[in-house]
Structure 1
Amino acid sequence: MVVLPHGTSHQLFDTPDSKCLPGEHVIAAYRSGDSLFGGVNENFDIVCGYFEYDRSWPHPLIKSLPNCIHLHQKERG
Structure 2
Amino acid sequence: MASSTVTVVRWTALITGIIYGITHQSTLQLQFDERKKKHHAEHRADLIEKAKAAWAAKSDTESLIIDPDNPKFDVEKVIAAYAK
TM-score interval for Structure 1 and Structure 2 normalised by the shorter chain: under 0.3
Larger strand proportion of the pair:
1
Query: Greater relative contact order: 1 or 2 (C-alpha under 8 angstroms, separation 6 or more)?
Result: 1
TM-score normalized with structure 1 length: 0.17
Larger helix proportion of the pair:
2
TM-score normalized with structure 2 length: 0.16
Bigger radius of gyration, 1 or 2?
A: 2
